[in-house]
A and B are shown apart, each in its own frame.
Chain A
Amino acid sequence: MSPLLHRIDPFWRHFLFYFSYLPSRIECSVNILFLSITDFESKKKSKRFKSDQMATEESASVMDDYEMLISTTDVELLKRAWRNEKAAPEILQFESSLVQRIKEQIELAEQNEEIFEANNIEPLTVSLYQMDLDRTQFLLRSYLRVRLQKIEKYLFYVLKTDEYLNRLSKQEQMFARRCTDDLGSHLDETVLAKLPDNYRSILKQSITSEEDDMVPAPRLDTFVICKAKQYLSGLDFEPEYSMEITEMERDLLTFVCYKFVKKPLENGKIDLV
């Protein structure tokens, strides 16, 4: 990406910027054009055509996402994810595509900075860009760190629950596994190996326990403060809590049990504050 891009209208800059990550997509659509002109009927290629068609559909949905994103910046979305993650008692779904986009924007900003220095751009401007970069980096780091802290806290629980494990990114899963191994062997060496046979499990109090009763689980009955982005009716909540919560007004701060609002939170209808 060249600094020239900054001279382009913001919309197109965003657009180009977004698609520059998807060279394969662009290639696909070019392929389709090519195919439709040349060997549209060729059987040999029809199979490939099909897969390309799927790719365009996919990129259409990417465009839909883009329409939605144009109203809010990625930083705004990351801030929301960070706040939710900090406030929620359990670990939430990792925002992989958002983090990916933010990382790329940070990289781009870092490259621009070098170019600024080389081109003798006004120091004031450079320092403002630096501040913007710092703020974004802080958000990203804090987001990742909050997640790591949660993983460490509920280490064994996360690993034995598929639902939670699937919410982690690849790196986080790796971190969780390595952390468990290290913690496990440390506890074995220092304490467990010296205990009687019945009490050597990390997960259980003794071998007579039927369940893993030494694994701390996130407390879903923690109270959180949330704000609905729109009016929520009873249908937006889990039916099993219909007694406790029936509706939620827009923009009204509500102190509520986390598990009641888990569903609208996952659907992006409320924000934790």
Chain B
Amino acid sequence: MAGQSDSTMSLFSSEEIEFMAEDEMTEIVPNLRMDSLNFICGDYGPFLPQLAAQVPLWLALALKKRGKCTIRLPPWMSVENLTRVLEAERDSHAFQPLPFHYVEISRLLFDHAREDIPDMYMVRSLIEDIRDVRFHKVETNLEKFTASTVTWKNMSAMEVNVIRAFAGRALQAFYKHDNEQQTPDTDRAMDKQPQIPTDRPKRNLKPR
């Protein structure tokens, strides 16, 4: 995809997006006793064995890597839910509600918390399918937009980041030409609702 090939064009690197995703809250079940942690980013704990606690994902992964906890799979990552989402995703043009960072969260959990995910392979392939369907939708959506503002419901961070550079420049060009020439592009006007008429006189293009 256009924005994907050139990583320097995207505003946020994928590492930075992952960094943001790591602040999402996750439920863990610790297997150690630890006092509360008073971090700059907030207070968590105290932790008692077998007592579920809410912590940011980075903390959950840090504890997980040291074998100090198990991570509870977020409810949206259950096989039932993902199957439902995938079906709905295939049936409609709209994006289904998923966490803003669903790609990154699932990726991090696959990489570091395999044994905490029941039906790991099933979950993994479901998420990959959902991702593909959604990316395809993003691509087809790109063919359609024209207006000076474009809105998306439930689009995720990675999807936004992938199309940001390309779509941003395209929209900017549309906007620039709309305002400079005041001549609606006939190609584009065809598959869109009529543009808002402006008071200024329209200037026709010279015949070639």
Contact = CB atoms under 8 A, between A and B. Distances in A.
B62 A87 contact: no
Interface residues of A, number: 45
A253 B59 CA distance: 28
Interface stretch (B39-47, B72-80, B118-126): B39-47
B172 interface: yes
Interface stretch (A128-136, A174-182, A185-193): A128-136
Given A253-B160, A273-B160, A132 B39 contact: yes
A58 B29 CA distance: 45
B196 A249 contact: no
A135 B57 CA distance: 13
B67 to A, nearest CB: 11
Given A131-B58, A225-B164, A254-B151, A87 B40 contact: no
Nearest to A246: B149
A239 to B, nearest CB: 16
Contacts of B155: 253
Contacts of B66: 124
Contact of B148 (A79, A133, A224, A257): A257
B51 interface: no
Main secondary structure of the interface of B (DSSP, over half): mixed
A245 B147 CA distance: 11
Contacts of B168: 222-225, 255
B40 A133 contact: yes
B153 A252 contact: yes
A75 B40 contact: yes
B196 to A, nearest CB: 7
B40 A125 contact: no
A223 to B, nearest CB: 4
Contacts of B39: 129, 132
Contact of B38 (A6, A131, A133): A6
Given A79-B20, A255-B168, A128 B40 contact: no
B132 interface: no
A253 B152 contact: yes
Nearest to B168: A223
Contacts of B145: 255
A189 B41 CA distance: 49
A223 B172 contact: yes
A244 B148 contact: yes
B11 A254 contact: no
Given A86-B11, A135-B58, A253-B155, A225 B160 contact: yes
A255 B148 CA distance: 8
Given A79-B23, A125-B37, A131-B58, A221 B172 contact: yes
Contacts of A106: 40
